């Protein structure tokens, strides 16, 4: 079998899909995307295609090593997301070729289903309590919310109080046993992260996410002393080499690689195994589309330390074009009692609706991250 064609599709709300064709008629789908940089990643995939056309799609590990090492310059969100999408599509082809799900090729599933969490509250966390109650009524056993809005490096206590009030309202609404993840989203700098971590400790959170940006990981040394809450991090890390410092430092309890940013199935599987050796949990980041989510479920299936999966159904970014609109077998993502089953179809397990993809690619998108500013006019982390 030989790879004959790589084709990318920029589709709303903010995604990029990749179709890889072979001379035997088997096709694979991937989702190589960095939010806000879809066209840049598409160009990176196009550059990788020069090498991949004519190659055997089943030699995934070798292609991964060539894409990573033979480019000389390596790492970073653009390159690693391009590699991720290609890797996903190659695993999809390999699974379809053998007529088995990807997890069967990775040693077989260790779980039947995985807990999922739902986003509540959108970008600006207001009215989160009602939102949380509604999500729990739909069966979810865990939710995630943004912690703060703009927060300056040193800020006033009313901002802290606002975060406390929101989290308290959610805890009150959902009761003691629903997991609450609070995402600081890199909006919080070390001085305020210490304050917030201590103040949020009484709410028994499932985790605090990105208490500081991953490039400031040494700041966690101070923060972990303020709280017993598990610390999660990693959506902006792209390889084993990025994660090794985080894991060796011993400051995180949960890692959150994104299978569309961190080199795909091949790399995230290895990152998960590294974390297992440090007794660190896995919660794959996935506010993306259906191919990315299907990819995550394949990794969750074979990763002993996976405990929960992010998913974007109904997320604030997806207004008008949601996860299920692009696949012909939406039942694969049917949530029951707060869990989603491990997919059992061949490859990634999703049947991509190519007609819909082509139709929506005519519309495309130019999604960009919002630019926020502080009261004094300086730019704020979003
Ligand atoms: Mg996050």
Q: What is the number of structural domains in the chain? A: 2
The domain in which residue 198 lies consists of 104-346
Least reliable range by pLDDT among 269-273, 333-337, 345-349: 333-337
Active-site entry in 185, 189, 261, 316: 185
375 C-alpha to center of ligand 1: Å?
24
Q: Tell me the CA distances in angstroms from 49 to 6, 55, 86, one per residue in order.
A: 6, 10, 9
Same domain, 203 and 129: yes
Q: What is the CA radius of gyration of the chain?
A: 20
86 and 35 in a common domain: yes
- Predicted local distance difference test score (pLDDT) of residue 127: 78
Residue 33 within a domain: yes
Q: How do residues 245-290 score in pLDDT, each as one tens digit?
A: 999 999 899 999 999 999 999 999 999 999 999 999 999 999 999 9
Residue 351 lies in a domain: no
User: Residue 115 in contact with residue 310, Cβ under 8 Å?
Assistant: no
285 included as an active-site residue: yes
CA of 182 to the centre of ligand 1 (A): 9
Of 179, 182, 180, residue with least CA distance to 208: 182
Structure tokens at 261: 């940013």
pLDDT reported for residue 161: 94
CB 21 within 8 A of CB 11: no
**Environment class of 378 (CB within 10 Å of its CB; exposed 0-12, middle 13-18, buried 19+):** exposed
Q: Name residue 335's beta-bridge partners.
A: 340
Q: Specify the CATH number for the domain of residue 160.
A: 3.20.20.120
In a domain, 359, yes or no: no
What confidence tens digit (pLDDT) does each residue in 58-114 have?
Answer: 999 999 999 999 999 999 999 999 999 999 999 999 999 999 999 999 999 999 999
Given a cut of 70, whether residue 298 has pLDDT beyond it is: yes
Q: Look up residue 127 and give its two tokens.
A: 């009215």
Q: Mark whether 200 and 256 lie in a shared domain.
A: yes
Do residues 126 and 59 both lie within one domain? no
Establish whether 185 is a catalytic residue: yes
Residue at token pair 């609109």: 325
**270 CA distance to ligand 1 middle (Å):** 21
Q: In which residue are the tokens 């960095």 written?
A: 34
Q: Do 329 and 285 fall into the same domain?
A: yes
Model pLDDT for residues 237-250, shown as the tens digit of each residue: 999 999 999 999 99
- Whether 332 is in a domain gets the answer yes
């Amino acid at each position: 079998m030989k790879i004959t064609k790589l084709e990318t599709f920029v589709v709303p709300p903010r995604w990029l899909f990749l179709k890889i064709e072979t001379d035997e008629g088997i096709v694979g789908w991937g989702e190589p995307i960095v939010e806000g940089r879809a066209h840049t990643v598409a160009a990176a995939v196009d550059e990788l295609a020069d090498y991949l056309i004519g190659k055997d799609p089943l030699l995934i590990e070798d292609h991964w090593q060539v894409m990573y090492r033979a480019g000389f310059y390596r790492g970073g969100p653009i390159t690693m997301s391009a590699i991720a999408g290609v890797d996903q599509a190659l695993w999809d082809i390999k699974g379809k070729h053998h007529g088995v799900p990807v997890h069967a090729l990775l040693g077989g599933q260790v779980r039947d289903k995985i807990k999922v969490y739902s986003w509540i509250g959108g970008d600006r966390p207001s009215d989160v309590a009602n939102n949380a109650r509604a999500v729990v009524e739909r069966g979810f056993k865990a939710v995630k919310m943004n912690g703060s809005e703009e927060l300056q490096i040193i800020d006033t206590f009313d901002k802290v109080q606002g975060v406390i009030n929101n989290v308290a309202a959610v805890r009150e609404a959902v009761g003691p046993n629903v997991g609450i993840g609070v995402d600081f989203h890199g909006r919080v700098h070390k001085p305020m992260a210490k304050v917030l971590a201590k103040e949020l400790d009484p709410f028994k959170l499932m985790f605090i996410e990105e208490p500081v940006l991953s490039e400031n990981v040494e700041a966690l040394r101070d923060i972990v002393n303020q709280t017993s809450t598990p610390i999660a991090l990693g959506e902006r890390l792209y390889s084993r080499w990025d994660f090794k410092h985080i894991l060796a430092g011993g400051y995180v309890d949960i890692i959150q690689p994104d299978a569309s940013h961190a080199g795909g199935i091949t790399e995230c599987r290895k990152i998960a195994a590294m974390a297992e050796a440090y007794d660190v949990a896995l919660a794959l980041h996935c506010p993306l589309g259906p191919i990315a989510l299907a990819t995550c479920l394949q990794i969750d299936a074979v990763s002993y330390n996976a405990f929960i999966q992010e998913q974007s159904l109904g997320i604030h970014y997806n207004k008008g074009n949601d996860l299920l609109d692009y696949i012909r077998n939406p039942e694969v993502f049917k949530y029951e009692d707060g869990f989603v089953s491990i997919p059992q179809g061949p490859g990634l397990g999703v049947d991509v609706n190519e007609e819909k993809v082509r139709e929506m690619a005519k519309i495309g998108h130019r999604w960009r991250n919002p630019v926020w500013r502080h009261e004094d006019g300086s730019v704020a982390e979003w």
